[in-house]
Amino acid sequence: MSSSEVTLRSTVGGISVEGQLHTLSVWFILALRLMIGLAFFQSGLDKVLSGEFSASGYLLNAPAGNGSPAAGLFAAMGETAWFVEFVNVAVPWGELLIGLGVIVGLLTRLAAFWGAFMMLLFYLGNWDISHGYINGDFAYMLVFLSVAAFGAGRVLGLDSYVEQYEVGGQPLVERYPWTRYLLG
């Protein structure tokens, strides 16, 4: 193994896996971060600029129409006026801010968590298993989770600087370890 290769090991539920990252892996991690960030940023920007986004019809009709196992949940959300108003703001601005955070690598894990959560909801709402259970929404959710797991915000991102910002003579993440769940 060369000095630039990294071995990953993990044990979950008594099962251990191990693998080595290739020296080019960092570029693919960066590419995943930029790709998903740009996709979300552009989608959010289009919705914000058009001012025409409305979740009501989607929540009430799409999941039920495509046989989603969560159709009842989506219908309940669509029948709750305050929740529809919340979603009408949260989706466009959420996509925009998640995308921006991921692109610049700032609060990357936090942004990736919310991006994965949104993609899970889109997966359940856009339920289409005619070609199997894996679709674009599911794949995007996994990309967000990968961005978070790999700490992609440290690869040419602002998180690497924020983590080292000194607070009381210590780097931020050493003084406040919980920030590792937001940064990286």
Say if 11 falls within a structural domain: no
Q: Would you state the pLDDT for residue 129?
A: 82
Of the chain, the percentage scoring pLDDT greater than 70 comes to 98
* Structural domain containing residue 41: 32-181
Mean pLDDT value across the chain: 93
Q: Is residue 10 part of a domain?
A: no
In a domain, 22, yes or no: no
DSSP state, 69? T
pLDDT in tens, 20-67: 888 889 999 999 999 999 999 999 999 999 999 999 999 999 999 999
Q: Is the dihedral of CA 46, 150, 168, 158 positive or negative?
A: negative
Percent composition of the chain: helix, strand, coil (DSSP 3-state, to 5): 65, 10, 25
Residue at 149 is within a domain: yes
- Residue 154 half-sphere exposure toward CB, CA atoms < 13 A: 12
| Residue 129 placed within a domain | yes
Render pLDDT for 109-124 as a digit per residue (tens, 0 to 9). 999 999 999 999 999 9
Q: Write down the pLDDT at residue 60.
A: 94
pLDDT at 178: 95
Report if residue 166 sits inside a domain.
Answer: yes
Distance of CA 44 to the CA centre of its chain: 14
Q: Is residue 116 a part of any domain in this protein? A: yes
Question: How many Cβ atoms from other residues are within 10 Å of residue 61's Cβ?
Answer: 14
Total domains present in the chain:
1
Asked whether residue 47 is assigned to any structural domain, the reply reads yes
